[in-house]
Structure 1
Amino acid sequence: METQEIQQIECSHCNGLISINNKYCSICGKEQKKDQTLIDSRKWPGLKQIGLFFAIELTCCVAALSIDNFDISTAIIFDIIMAGTAVLFFSYNWRENAHLLKWPNFSLKKTIICIIISITASIIVQFLVEHLNHSLFNTDYSYYTIYKPHKYGKYIMIISVALFPALFEELAYRGYLMQKLLTIVDKKEAIYITSILFFFMHLSMTSFFWMLPFSIVLAQIRISENTLWYGIIIHFTFNLTVCMMEISTFDTLI
């Protein structure tokens, strides 16, 4: 007959090992603190892992912003680092995360709706961002200026700005991070924590009005559909629309 493994934690008073379900320590007899009985041995390693993940992500973002002459080579290097981080953490927790790469309830109708809505939202956001840049900073900013000097700049921009973020940011935030948080907090908290960290990682306060709602929507879709693919399609279509608008605008001006 198989015996079920009993999870144990340290007593908050004598540090003796007791069952996670025990309200009183079987060694010293004292009542356990409420938070001590709620936090099991799996949560602290999970929190440490999340902390390490976000520290790497944030360090990369801050480093990218601190570089004065940010060119296409630098962009590619950071893309590779961020992609590698996403794959590493997602793969490390493969048993927990693998099911997110499946698409059990594929719906062509939902996919088309996601594409149409993300294109529309992207166009609206792009115009609003341009208006904010003119009003607050009296300047224009375009991703395309980084990629334009290269012979294949248009294609590299689409890969760097649309494809890579859609795949690897979803893999990292709605994949690894959310799945890890779901072992620590409830679904609602996981949605908001993931979304806030995703927004904060971009280090752009002017993007608050759209990026935070955008990430909340992606997180809710990930929870309700239990797959990353709808989020990847929305993310890719949204960013691809931005790329095409910037390329079209820049080429028209020239």
Structure 2
Amino acid sequence: MITEEQEISQTRYCSQCGALNFISVRFCGSCGHRQSEINAEQSRPNNWQQLQQAALFYGINILVCALSSFVNYFKDIGWSLIVEVVIAGTAVIFFAYNWDDCKKLLRWPSFSWQKLAGYCAIAMIGGVIVHYSVTWINVTVFSRDGDYYSTFKGLPGGAFLLIFFLAVTPALFEELGFRGYLLKNLLNIADTGQAVFMSAFLFAIIHFSFISLFWLIPFALLLGYTRVKENTIWYGICIHFCFNLTACLFELL
């Protein structure tokens, strides 16, 4: 009978996506990447160190998001810009620090215009459904309606600022941080399904909106599984941008 220690010693992590495979497997069962002939002990990452690093990344994000959500002092336009810079900088720093593991995600293998159009169409349809659902809930349950554009309305180029800060920067830097660095990190610690769900749940939590969990978690799951399936963050960036852009267009109409 094979013991648990023996079973672990016969596995290794895929150098492309981080999924766990048996040494005897020549191609990764998750991404299909050809496995190199390296010792399993050498390929196994330091799980505790990676977990600590992921906790630091998430701690910075949740602290900054909590301040911007609950402390009025951090809600004016000046501090909002600083919050965006900190979130973007954190994503870039952690992604760059793990460059050897993460750089593969900046490639765009098997790019397809048809596939990109399909993903973007799904994102925009989802954005329309979420907009009307959230508006109905806010008006019916809370007797209010959100207005993100009011923050930028009095500024020069307010419409462009709205799209930049609500569609462009979240799509780029949240994908870089959460589906780039964090998910890559979690794939070294847990199996694919667990890693995708954990990253989705953590992503939803930092928005500090209980009512939004009904769409944030499915949306983050879509982004996570797309990242794993396509082995790139670029489809996720486009999906995220189109989804948020749809919300911005409703604000501007």
- Please give the TM-score of this superposition, normalised by the length of structure 2: 0.81
Of structures 1 and 2, the one scoring higher in RCO (CA 8 A, sep 6+) is 2
Code of the aligned partner of 1:135: T
**2:234 aligned with 1:229:** yes
**2:55 aligned with 1:51:** yes
Q: CA RMSD in A?
A: 1.5
**Please, which of 214, 217, 228 is the counterpart of residue 212 of structure 1?**
217
The equivalent residue for 2:71 is 67
Q: Which has the larger radius of gyration?
A: 1
Note if contact 1:71-1:147 (Cα within 8 Å) is conserved in structure 2: no
The equivalent residue for 1:37 is none
The equivalent residue for 1:185 is 190
Listed as ranges, the matches of 1:27-42 within 5 Å are: 42=46
The equivalent residue for 1:98 is 103
Code of the aligned partner of 1:57: N
Secondary structure at the aligned position of 1:148 is classed as coil
Listed as ranges, the matches of 1:121-200 within 5 Å are: 121-200=126-205
The Cα offsets for residues 64-97 of structure 1, whole Å up to 9 and x where unpaired, read as: 0123262222221111110000000000000000
The Cα offsets for residues 30-89 of structure 1, whole Å up to 9 and x where unpaired, read as: xxxxxxxxxx77011101001101110000011101232622222211111100000000
Code of the aligned partner of 2:133: L
Code of the aligned partner of 2:51: L
How many percent of aligned residue pairs carry the same amino acid?
40
Code of the aligned partner of 1:45: Q
The equivalent residue for 2:114 is 109
Q: How far is the alpha carbon of 1:135 from its aligned partner?
A: 1.4
- Answer with 67-76 or 43-52: which moved more: 67-76
- Please give the TM-score of this superposition, normalised by the length of structure 1: 0.81
Code of the aligned partner of 2:63: T
Give 4+ residue runs of structure 1 displaced > 4 Å after superposition. Answer: none
Report the count of equivalent residues: 212
The Cα offsets for residues 118-171 of structure 1, whole Å up to 9 and x where unpaired, read as: 111101100110111011210111111111111121111111000000000000
What is the CA–CA distance in structure 2 between the aligned matches of 1:233 and 1:89, rounded to whole Å?
21
What is the CA–CA distance in structure 2 between the aligned matches of 1:246 and 1:143, rounded to whole Å?
7
Note if contact 2:109-2:230 (Cα within 8 Å) is conserved in structure 1: no
What 5-or-longer segments of structure 2 have no aligned partner? 1-7, 10-43
Note if contact 2:105-2:231 (Cα within 8 Å) is conserved in structure 1: yes
